[in-house]
Amino acid sequence: MAGTIRLDKFLAEMKKGTRSQVKEAIRKGRVLVDGAVCRESDYKFDPAAVTVCMDGEEVAFSSVEYFMLNKPQGVVSATEDNLHPTVISLIGDAKRKDLFPVGRLDIDTEGLLLITNDGKLAHELLSPKKHVDKVYFAKVKGKLREDVTEAFAKGITLADQTTVLPAELLIESSYEEDGEPVCEARLTIHEGKFHQVKRMFEAAGGQVVFLKRLSMGPLMLDPLLEPGESRPLTAEELKALRKS
């Protein structure tokens, strides 16, 4: 049972318009409940047991939604913003309007972002006590200290004297670009401090010039998703997330 909900609230939550717009639609007889016109905005019903149509189309009900997004650069991890497009604006097939990103990726960072309206799951994934693994691919310019892998494994101290938890660093390649040393690496962290990955590499003598999140807990970025694309989570992915 989904519980009861007001008709106007249901339509607004299912992205059929603002509350005032759906009230007007109801008043004009554009909304049917189980095949009959309903002109009462405050009519309460169980959306799991009733069929609602607006302008001749059934309004599908979803109490919770889960989307995997491959966040592109230039988009902010927010529900609304006056200057930049938001990650929520990229979820074109969402039914609900109360979705939010689980955590944040910087505007210039790409990769995996979970979008949902499940507050309980989001809290579990973001709780500092849970130490959920997050894996990033980073391209770093500059000469890193020789013991960077060991320093990260012990828990490096940032420029502001904050010490982060031990992290696993794997240098995948090293080369020169425009006469400057560059490395490509995978970094697994177990917390989510502000700009943490960038600050860790800065503390080791480097500058992150590209950053992409590859996974969060058991959830791995679908390689078929291009930047800006999203898809609903599979039942298996959601089950694994809840277990973690």
> Which residues are identified as catalytic?
106
Tokens 């979803």, located at residue: 62
As a whole number of angstroms, the distance between CA 187 and CA 194 comes to 16
As a whole number of angstroms, the distance between CA 218 and CA 216 comes to 6
Structure tokens at 111: 């990769």
As a whole number of angstroms, the distance between CA 140 and CA 145 comes to 12
Beta-strand relationship, 110-116 and 207-216 = parallel
